[in-house]
Structure 1
């Protein structure tokens, strides 16, 4: 039976292209690359939203960016699920949102609890969970982005260690996005086409292992 994977993330999952201030071609987004790598063994659902946080409010958009508030509805929409990939935390680095890696780690913990305790329809078993640390923020000459993430370079560099420890504690899978991808200096936050493709390719092995395919 084909496995179903939900990719729950922010603009890195949506496919924001800092060079064009648009969206990467569908084939270049990391969920699409992962889908191609897995072929017919799994169905990938890309659920990315620009500005999405782990579990914090951000009222600077005409949508709800609080990942914890929206997640239960999305879980119910796409059930049954075999795996949920959580790739969030960069936007938590904004001081107006949370401003620390520790807060983002708490937010990821909240999302894991929501998945584990969800009232799945029709007695479906809950999915496996894979926590992915986003590639760290880097220095940029983009003034608006740099101003939005003061202290973000140092704080985001802590995410991988914190997320790895959290995954061990909660019995989740873990993947460090820094091991295969780097953010673009154009804005210090996002991934160019090469790096978002690399993230999709890098995730194939652990996703196959967690799905047993």
Structure 2
């Protein structure tokens, strides 16, 4: 059985816009991913409200994603695939540019690429996701953060390419609810899941093929 770790913030946790409650597992995009994968894989949901790429005090509530990630990986090891979607909460810090936030994501990807938590003590496969941009009509409320949120996707795509990771722009498939302009509603979770599922299936199939090739090569003639 394969294992998939979904590492993110409130849109991975399943924050319901307008109520602050958590969507049920059947609504959340990681839960929908688990349903699609069935018994072939286990999906670990590691979402946390307020989580950033690498900001915050890791000695308090672990919202510093970079600081929390390695213990999280080790606790779930072996992990075949890590899906990481972070950056929205970094936008709340006005002094951070989109490049600063991307640099935080790169630190996370570098950590994943150098941590032997996958099968046979290899690094896990990676899927980097840029979060859905903040809604334009809330620019008066969120200010420059709206524009910065739209700069993340190409920066994340470049990082993924540099480290041989898959990339998915969540904003191409789902947008935040008009209620708060930040969080996905139930329809957004459905749309994002439908985009993520075939990518994950392709990655896991590739891992299966690689393992089969290794097994075949190791068989005595």
Aligned to 1:70: 68
**Secondary structure of 2:43's match?**
strand
Greater relative CO (CA pairs within 8 A, separation 6+): 1
Alignment partner of 1:133 is 2:130: yes
Q: Which runs of 5+ in 2 are unaligned?
A: 209-221
Higher CA-based Rg: 2
Q: Is the 8 A contact 1:16 1:23 kept in 2?
A: yes
Task: Indicate how the Cα distance of structure 1 residues 208 and 161 shifts in structure 2: closer, same or farther if over 3 A, else same.
Answer: same
Separation in 2 of the partners of 1:120 and 1:63? Answer: 24
Q: How many corresponding residue pairs?
A: 206
**Secondary structure of 2:104's match?**
helix
**Secondary structure of 1:4's match?**
strand
Task: Indicate how the Cα distance of structure 1 residues 121 and 87 shifts in structure 2: closer, same or farther if over 3 A, else same.
Answer: closer
Q: Is the 8 A contact 1:94 1:150 kept in 2?
A: no
Q: Could you list the runs of 4 or more consecutive aligned residues of structure 1 that deviate by over 3 angstroms after TM superposition?
A: 119-123, 139-143
Provide TM-score, normalisation by structure 1.
Answer: 0.89
Q: CA deviation at 1:21?
A: 2.1
Q: Which runs of 5+ in 1 are unaligned?
A: none
Aligned to 1:15: 14
Alignment partner of 1:116 is 2:116: no
Provide TM-score, normalisation by structure 2.
Answer: 0.86
Q: Is the 8 A contact 1:141 1:186 kept in 2?
A: no
Aligned to 1:103: 100
Separation in 2 of the partners of 1:64 and 1:86? Answer: 16
Aligned to 1:160: 153
